Amino acid sequence: MTVLIVGAGPAGLTLAAELGLAGVPCRVLERRSERYPHSRAFALTPRCLEIMEMRGEVEEFLTRGLESPVVSLGSKGRGIDMRRYIDSRHAYNLILPQVQTEEVLEAWALKRGAVIERGTEVTGLEQDADGVTVTVRGPEGEHTERASYVVGCDGIRSTVRSLLGISFPGMPSEFSAILADVQLKHVPEDEQVFARHTDRGMVAVMPFPDGHFRLMIQDHRRMQVPVGEPVTLEEIRSSAADILEVDLGIHSPRWLSRFRSEQRLAERYQVGRVLLAGDAAHAHTPAGGQGLNLGIQDTVNLGWKLAATVQGWAPADLLDSYEAELRPLAARILRQTESVFRFNTARGPLLRGARWTVKQLLHVPALQRSVITEMAGTKTRYGKGAHRMTGRRVPDTTLTLASGAEESLFPLLNSGKAVFLDSSPAGELARAAERLWPEHLTAAHVRRASGRLPEALLVRPDGHVGWASDHPDQPAFRAEVGRWLGDPVA
C-alpha cells in the first residue's frame, strides 16, 4: 500500500516530495486536469526559503523569483527592512507567482519518485485498523483502492474533510476585495513593494519578475459588491486612482478576480489514518501572505513523521504531534491575519486614529522585530522544553568539525534525516548517536560554530530543535532522542 495525497497544490506537492525523499511511495490525486493558471498567492517567506535550502532545492525558486526585503507600513517611505531582524541568508520575501511555485514543487516531487494523477478525484473513503479504502473517479471511470494513509491537501472546499465529517468553523469576511495582475505605464519608483492606506481604502502593489504587477484593492465604496460581479479594467483604474491619488496607467490585465476572504480552522487535523494539511485545515485572509507558506510548513512537519509511521520506526505518539504542533500555530496566525485585515479596512475617525497610532508604534525596534519574525515564520516554536532552544527553528550555522573540516548545518539536512550535533570536547554522544540510530540521523562532532550551540543539539528533519542540553547525560540523551527517533538499535 502507498500514501494517497489528495490535491496537487503547494501543500500536497511538498508532502509528496518529503515522502519521496524518505523512500515512502505516494501518489497525488488532483481533480483538475491541468494546473490552475492564475496565482492567488505570490510570495515565499524567509522560513519557507530556509526549508527549501534544507532540502537543497532553493536555487530554482531564487532563479525565478524577486527578492523583496522591505515590508511596507502603508505610507510612503516607511517600511521595515527584514534584514535588520532576521538571522538568515533569506531575510526577504521572494515574490513568485503561485503557479511557478507549484511548477518547481512538482518537479521536486517527481524527482523524488511521486506519481501525480490529474483529472482524478476522491469521492468516498472508509478506513479500518490496517488502511483506508478510497473511492476514486478518473478518466477511465470509478474504482476503489487501498492506501496505508490518506492526506487531504485539497483546499478550502476539501472533499476529504467533508467525508471525514470534520467541522470547519469560522466565517467569510463581510467585505469583498480585488486581485488583479496587470501592467503599469507609471511604475512607482520609491519602493519595490508598497501599500497605501487612505480614507477611501487600500491599494497594495507588488512587482512580478515577468514585468506584470499584482494589485490588491480594498475600496470602501466597492467592498459590498457581490463576489460574482465581474471585475472590469475601468473599475480597478478608478478605485486605484481614487485611493492613491495618482494614475498608475493600469493596462493589459491578464487576471481580474473579486474575492471574499474566509477565516476558518478545522476542528481536527486527523481522524485515524486520514489527515488534513494546507487550506483543507485552515483558511486565511491574504494579509501577511501566510496561507501558502503555512501549508508548506504543515507538510514539512508532517512528512517525516508520516514516513516514520509508515516505515514502522516511529514512537507511538509521533504522528499525534503533527496536530498538536501545527493547529495552535494556525490558530495564532488566523488571529493575526484577521487583525491585519481589520487594520487595513478600518473606517471612521476612531478606527483611523487607532491605525495611525499602530503605525507609529511599529517604528519601535522591539515591536518591529516581533512583527517581522512572526510574518517571516522564523519565530515559530513547536512547544517548549527545559532548554531555551527546544522547539525553535534553527538558522543555518557554519560548523567546524573535529576533523577540521567546515560544514554548514542546512546541507546536513538535505537527506531529510535528523541531525545530532555534539559540541563536547570528547564527542562521545555523537559516536553514540551514530551507533544507536544509524538509519535516522546524521551525527557531527563540532569544535566551533558561527552561532552559539548547546553541548548537545538534536535538529529534527523539519529544522526545529527536538532536544537541547548544555549539560547532557546518557539517560537524558537516550530518552530525548528516542522520543523523536524511536527505539535505539542497541
Helix axis angle, 98-111 to 10-21, nearest 10°: 20
Place of cell 517548549: 384
| End-to-end Cα separation, the chain, in angstroms | 30
* Structural domain contains residue 388: no
Q: Report the C-alpha gap between 36 and 307 in whole angstroms.
A: 29
Provide the domain limits for residue 452: 398-485
For the chain, which residues score pLDDT lower than 70? Answer: 73-78, 190-191, 287-289, 339-363
In a shared domain, residues 196 and 133: no
* Structural domain contains residue 382: no
Q: Where is the domain boundary, 260, 283, 299?
A: 260
Q: Say which CATH number the domain at 90 has.
A: 3.50.50.60
CB 142, CB 123: distance < 8 Å? yes
* Structural domain contains residue 288: yes
Q: What is the pLDDT of residue 405?
A: 95
Q: What is the pLDDT of residue 198?
A: 82
> Looking at the 3D structure of the chain, how many domains does it have?
3
How confident is the model over 38-49, as pLDDT tens digits? 888 889 999 999
Torsion sign across C-alpha atoms 146, 148, 152, 158 = positive
> pTM for the whole thing?
0.94
Q: Where is the domain boundary, 209, 234, 260?
A: 260
Q: Report the C-alpha gap between 338 and 415 in whole angstroms.
A: 37
Q: What is the pLDDT of residue 108?
A: 97
φ, ψ dihedrals at 321, nearest 5°: -70, -20
* Structural domain contains residue 387: no
In a shared domain, residues 113 and 127: yes
**Cα dihedral: 318, 322, 323, 324 (round 10):** 70
In a shared domain, residues 153 and 283: yes
Place of cell 529534527: 460
Q: Where is the domain boundary, 318, 345, 376?
A: 376
Q: Say which CATH number the domain at 193 has.
A: 3.30.70.2450
* Structural domain contains residue 393: no
* Structural domain contains residue 385: no
Q: Which three cell numbers stand for residue 8?
A: 496537487
* Structural domain contains residue 125: yes
Q: Which three cell numbers stand for residue 204?
A: 497594495
In a shared domain, residues 9 and 153: yes
Helix (H, G, I), strand (E, B) or coil at 115: strand
In a shared domain, residues 348 and 218: no
In a shared domain, residues 15 and 88: yes
In a shared domain, residues 339 and 441: no
Output the 3-class SS for 120-187.
CEEEEEEECCCCEEEEEEECCEEEEEEECEEEECCCCCCHHHHHHCCCCCEEECCCCEEEEEEEECCC
How confident is the model over 82-116, as pLDDT tens digits? 999 999 999 999 999 999 999 999 999 999 999 99
Distances, alpha carbon 424 to alpha carbons 327, 397, 413, 446, in Å: 36, 17, 21, 8
* Structural domain contains residue 284: yes
Q: What is the pLDDT of residue 343?
A: 61
Q: Report the C-alpha gap between 185 and 359 in whole angstroms.
A: 30
**Cα dihedral: 101, 104, 108, 113 (round 10):** 100
Q: Say which CATH number the domain at 474 has.
A: 3.40.30.120
